Amino acid sequence: MSRSPLARILLTMEERSSRRRESTFSLAVRDDYSASEVQQLFTAIPALNEAASYLAHTTSYFTRCFPGSAGDVEPDEGQELMTLVSEQDTRSLYERESTVSEQVGDDNTSSSIDEEMSASSVGSSSPWLSARIFQNGSSIFKDLVDRARKTVRGSADDIGWLQQATDMPPVEDGTKRFQEILESIRNNEHKLPNSVVYLLVPGLFSNHGPLYFVNTKTYFSKMGLACHIARIHSEASVEKNAREIKQYIEEIFWGSRKRVLLLGHSKGGVDAAAALSLYWSDLKDKVAGLALAQSPYGGSPIASDILREGQLGDYVSLRKIMEVLICKVVKGDLQALEDLTYERRKEFLRKHPLPQELPVVSFHTEAGIVPGVLATLSPVAHAELPIITSLADGQPTKLPVVMPLGAAMAACAQLLQVRYGEKSDGLVTRRDAEVPGSVVVRPEQKLDHAWMVYSSPNNDPVETDASKVCEALLALLVEVAQKRRHEISNKDE
């Protein structure tokens, strides 16, 4: 027996309603999972964890109550018909069907039903409008949860991405050998050759720290080694500094006929690595190796959280503050900081990886967060006072300009530890400082990011001296380069 048109319509409505209930149940399951996921995002801070969990559960509740979800597509004719035709209209139409169909044929029945449907839709627009309003409300709450999840997670999914990438070469642990070299240096056994020139590449804001790397350069010069500090505009972009470093290397090589060993600190290591990646064909005969100290080679969570949309920089105006500081105060380029975000580093390294034949050493540390660090003052410059004969005998009097950099690094390290559970030197996490394919040095000493370049010379054999650490890193790099050349020669034979 063939069904009448109205019966077919009612059957279609029933099937769509069943699928709609299944979709709502699936959505509720997904929302419950999302709520559980958000609940685990920030366990270190209970108050924020509870807020995120409450927001997720609230959204899940509203989503289940509303007839649609944010991810629904525009309703088709069946969905609209189901919404517009009330249950009373359906019963009325069904009762009239038998009477009408006995008097008129099926074709006329269909026409009559269509007219009834149209008439019903005129007076039934309110439920449809209400449903659309509820759907929009559900979408708003879902967007709030997505934004809260993105803000809370921050850079959690990006930290250490280089170690998770399957196409990156593995690293080699050189910590033990580094400690042996450092111990011999403390015993006045120096092994750095004078057959190369040493180029120190400073990091961000080095133009405003006159003592950046100065102690290390003086230390090297006293040993009779040719050492230079690359005077680049550290607040410029990575690619701009890479061009300037290339010019430095070429000038040193053509002037001395000696190859160059580079040591870059912080962003200076990123800039130096970019120079070798972009211009390796021009520099491969002029460079003997590269050491990166505390460099955010994989990216920096501090830079990403300040600049990336949806991160903390959106809520406390950090992005605007950094823009004013870099662009207006120090006359730099905001891209210098943008180039250290995870998005930019991923994009750059996929296009421009370091040459595999280049000897590389990477070094990273962890900042101390004990209360004593808060009282540490780092000398960053010297202020010259007017000549006072009784005090200076005709020479300008110099007073050190100090800043509590140790306290700032300790605070940042504590923040990264609490938020992400990651160890860092205050600005760079240990995992992001490991360069794929390099020999990695992982010392246990508590050394912050600023200590590397602003610490004063130290004669205490127990304490770590920054200049001697730089010497040990470069001595290890020389050994790695010799080993690399030996392996290449054996492979050629």
Full-model pTM: 0.68
**Confidence (pLDDT) at 348:** 96
Q: Which of 92-96, 303-307, 369-373 has the lowest mean pLDDT?
A: 92-96
Q: How confident is the model at residue 82 (pLDDT cuts 50, 70, 90)?
A: very low
Task: Give pLDDT tens digits for 3-17.
Answer: 555 556 555 665 655
**Confidence (pLDDT) at 160:** 94
Beta bridge partners of 196: 259
pLDDT exceeding 70 applies to what percent of the chain? 55
Task: Give pLDDT tens digits for 408-434.
Answer: 888 889 889 998 999 999 999 999 999
* Full DSSP string of 408-473: HHHHHHHHHHHHH---BSSSSBTGGGPPTTSEEE---SB--TTHHHHPPP---SSSPPHHHHHHHH
Contacts of 183 (CB under 8 A, 6+ apart): none
User: Which residue is listed with tokens 């990651």?
Assistant: 422
**3-state SS assignment for residue 345:** helix
Q: Which of 2-11, 42-51, 363-372 has the lowest mean pLDDT?
A: 42-51
Q: Which of 44-48, 229-233, 276-280, 478-482 has the lowest mean pLDDT?
A: 44-48
**Confidence (pLDDT) at 307:** 80
Burial class (CB in 10 A: 0-12, 13-18, 19+), 263: buried
Nearest to 177 by CA among 363, 22, 353, 40: 363
> What residue type is 69 in one-letter code?
S
Task: Give pLDDT tens digits for 116-129.
Answer: 544 444 444 555 55
Question: What value does the mean pLDDT take over residues 285-302?
Answer: 96
Question: What value does the mean pLDDT take over residues 308-327?
Answer: 63
**Confidence (pLDDT) at 74:** 44
User: What does the block give as tokens for 219?
Assistant: 């230390």
Question: What value does the mean pLDDT take over residues 323-342?
Answer: 72
**Confidence (pLDDT) at 30:** 43
Nearest to 342 by CA among 380, 311, 366, 369: 311
User: Which residue is listed with tokens 């004593």?
Assistant: 372
Q: Which of 26-40, 187-201, 256-270, 456-470 has the lowest mean pLDDT?
A: 26-40
User: What does the block give as tokens for 427?
Assistant: 């600005």
Task: Give pLDDT tens digits for 181-222.
Answer: 999 999 999 999 999 999 999 998 777 677 789 889 999 999
Largest CA distance in the chain: 125
Q: How confident is the model at residue 335 (pLDDT cuts 50, 70, 90)?
A: confident
Contacts of 17 (CB under 8 A, 6+ apart): 82
